Chain A
């Protein structure tokens, strides 16, 4: 049995159909036409599906769509665009920190939330902050470097 839910994603309303077990991840990808959020493990482990809910990073694969009606959701599509990347996205490009790119949307979400909270994050804080996200290409060094660059750029 499915019901109608209206989600607010990246500032826009999306009417969706969701059953009791339908996750936010499924709805974002299949109904909101926002496939930037990736499905890796579907078990909360990898972080590829990270999105911001009420400004805080959560796993979209562990969040039920019907439990999001009153919450503001921000996906990778909402933090920056190819024309106007946010500081983290720009730094990832400049550092060459993207390999296959599968983990990148989740990394950007986690790093964006981290810098929001700790604009002057040092390397240790960045490593801790990104520990929620796995990169199967194991490009961690470059990713940490990029986020550190973004932090320094934002500070100056």
Chain B
């Protein structure tokens, strides 16, 4: 008989030691995904390490250079409503506010969401658009991985066995940049069929900088520097948008599932991109 235990450490060191002590241990964050999988019989962890009591994982830290660090145990609700994002960093609060529904946003955490890397999840694309860095801790120390490199494959990340997400560092966005997250879902609160996360900076009538990431359309968020470049110097006219959108759609590798067919997802990507640009027009005028 396996020892089935719940461990509730108060420090990160103790959490890592507990993960190490019992091979097959799983971290328990909000439980919104893990417990649902346990209920469905999809995973049967022999030991759980609850991260709820580790205070250092919960806060945010404002950095001198305008960056913000968010702890892994930040609830979606806190990221959506209580984090002082500036400029294009707001892509993250837009994404967080569209995850599931208010009750699930009280439970689910940043670390749990990105460690699971559901292809329909909202944070991954937003973090790639924000050019964020994932902060990882393990028994042998800490390491940092760019969000782009962190998401590796379907439900798979750069985390090694025994490692934990400690948090995320969101760098300062360009002054005056606009962040936006456009999500297409069957109903409010469902996982994304497809999504577009972006940071755009305008200079007069043309785009000076852009970073676009597509969610829900492959094993990892899709970011192509080439697609970003196609928008730079343009006025986000429909021609430029459809060119960039098509390039992204061609590179996407979406699934066929209950939410939508792969073809539909590919078709919708350019339109979501155009919609995202229309949605930020008022913010641009205000800027």
Give A contacts to B, CB under 8 Å: 1, 19-21, 23, 42-44, 47, 50, 56-59, 61-64, 66-67, 110, 128-129, 131-133
Contacts and interface: CB of A to CB of B under 8 A. Distances in A.
A1 B170 CA distance: 42
5 contacts: A1-B1, A42-B36, A62-B30, A131-B189, A132-B104
Secondary structure type dominating chain A contacts: mixed
B144 interface: no
Contacts, number: 80
B277 interface: no
A20 B49 CA distance: 11
B203 interface: no
Contacts of B104: 44, 59, 132
A58 B5 contact: no
A133 B100 CA distance: 11
Contact of A50 (B5, B35, B48, B103): B103
Interface string B1-36: 101111010000000000000000000101110011
B1 A67 contact: no
Interface string B144-155: 000000000000
Given A64-B6, A64-B28, A42 B39 contact: yes
B45 A20 contact: yes
Nearest to B105: A132
A67 B8 contact: yes
A63 B28 CA distance: 10
